[in-house]
């Protein structure tokens, strides 16, 4: 065996067995869970049994004498070898204690927590991981990844939530990641079809204003800012509106078309419209209020129409 081969073999050895930190170092604990990277977690069977039917059933069975769950002991305590690394195991086990648990801030770590929580049937950890995963933060950050997670774990309602959050994003330009392997061809098809339908619906609302309820504070011609006309209202008549608002809606249509409709990009368009409106002595004093009021109406209309588009055919 060459020196290089000896070094490689040594590097592949597991680290020495060490103890986890608090609260998993209690000397009164009655069982040890050993992680895949050889960290020992001292914990109480009662806590595990109350938090997880999986562990409750495990402790009700007689210990085996061979295999990963053999009768190995350490300082008189039974040792149970698990497949998870120490960080993943720690995030799970803290949910078995009657304490406040820290929020997990990483999407990848949250997916890992959800997986191990479902494996060991720790309901509290599963609920927290799901709630944190499908928060506004991660829906904004990577809705496609969340869609794959929802499909993989058969969460149809969450899949619809994540699919809706892809509106205004160029999902086919998203970098490839291994999480996409969770999706079947059929699931990807339904996501792309849903995305296309939502995009077309939003663009129609942003360019055809016959849905708008009148009277509306924006429906007023302004000579100072080169007022324009738009077809709006139930009768579809051309009505006078401020020029800056027409320009803003054209920018909205372009943003939806090119997948540039994230929260930050929406704010940029609003800021640009406000700056333009402020140049008008007549529109300026109320441009912020009028535009914000309109955005509430506009967003509600998009939500109303998109809610009619479903993922009923999605197979999970």
Residue 146 above 80 pLDDT?
yes
Burial annotation 49-84 (CB, 10 A radius, 16+ → b, else e): bebbeebeebbeeeeeeeeebeeeeeeeebbbebeb
- In tens, the pLDDT along 57-77 reads 999 887 654 345 557 889 999
- Considering only residues 224 and 289, tell me which one the structure prediction assigns the higher pLDDT: 289
pLDDT at 128: 98
Is 216 within 8 Å of 229 (Cβ atoms)? no
Burial annotation 237-274 (CB, 10 A radius, 16+ → b, else e): eebebbbbbbbbbebbbebbeebbbeeeebeebbeebb
% of the chain at pLDDT higher than 70: 93
Mean pLDDT computed over every residue of the chain: 89
pLDDT at 314: 86
Residue 282 above 90 pLDDT?
no
pLDDT at 64: 53
For residues 151-161, give the mean pLDDT: 95
- In tens, the pLDDT along 75-101 reads 999 999 999 999 999 999 999 999 999
pLDDT at 231: 85
Say which residues have a Cβ less than 8 Å from residue 107's Cβ, sequence separation at least 6.
133, 138, 141, 142, 145
- In tens, the pLDDT along 270-281 reads 999 999 999 888
Residue 105: pLDDT band (50, 70, 90) is: very high
pLDDT at 12: 59
Residue 32 above 80 pLDDT?
yes
* The Cα angle at residue 155 between residues 150 and 161, in degrees rounded to 5: 70
pTM of the predicted protein model? 0.85
CA 127 to centroid of chain Cα atoms: 14
- In tens, the pLDDT along 162-218 reads 999 999 888 988 999 999 998 999 999 999 999 999 999 999 999 999 998 877 767
pLDDT at 70: 56
pLDDT at 6: 40
Alpha-carbon Rg for the chain in angstroms: 28
């Amino acid at each position: 065996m060459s020196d290089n081969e000896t070094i490689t073999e040594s590097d592949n050895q597991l680290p020495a067995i060490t103890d986890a930190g608090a609260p998993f170092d209690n000397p009164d604990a009655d069982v040890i869970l050993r992680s895949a990277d050889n960290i020992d977690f001292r914990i109480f069977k009662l806590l595990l049994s109350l938090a997880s039917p999986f562990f409750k059933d495990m402790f009700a069975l007689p210990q085996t004498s061979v295999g990963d769950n053999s009768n190995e002991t350490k300082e008189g305590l039974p040792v149970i070898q698990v497949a998870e690394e120490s960080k993943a195991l720690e995030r799970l086990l803290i949910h078995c204690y009657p304490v406040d648990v820290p929020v997990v801030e990483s999407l990848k770590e949250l997916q890992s927590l959800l997986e191990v929580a479902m494996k060991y049937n720790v309901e509290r950890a599963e609920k927290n991981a799901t709630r944190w995963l499908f928060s506004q933060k991660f829906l904004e950050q990577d809705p496609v990844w969340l869609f794959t997670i929802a499909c993989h774990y058969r969460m149809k309602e969450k899949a619809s939530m994540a699919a809706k959050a892809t509106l205004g994003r160029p999902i086919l330009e998203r970098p490839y990641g291994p999480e996409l392997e969770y999706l079947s061809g059929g699931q990807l098809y339904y996501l792309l079809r849903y995305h296309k339908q939502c995009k077309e619906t939003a663009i129609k609302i942003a360019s055809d204003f016959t849905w708008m309820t009148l009277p509306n504070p924006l429906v007023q011609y302004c000579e100072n800012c080169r007022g324009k006309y738009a077809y709006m209202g139930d009768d579809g008549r051309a009505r006078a509106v401020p020029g800056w608002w027409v320009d803003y809606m054209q920018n909205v249509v372009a943003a939806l078309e090119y997948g540039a409709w994230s929260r930050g990009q929406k704010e940029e368009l609003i800021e640009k419209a406000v700056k333009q409106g402020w140049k008008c002595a007549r529109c300026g004093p109320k441009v912020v209020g009028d535009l914000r009021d309109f955005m509430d109406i506009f967003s509600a209309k998009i939500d109303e129409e998109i809610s009619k588009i479903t993922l009923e055919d999605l197979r999970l």
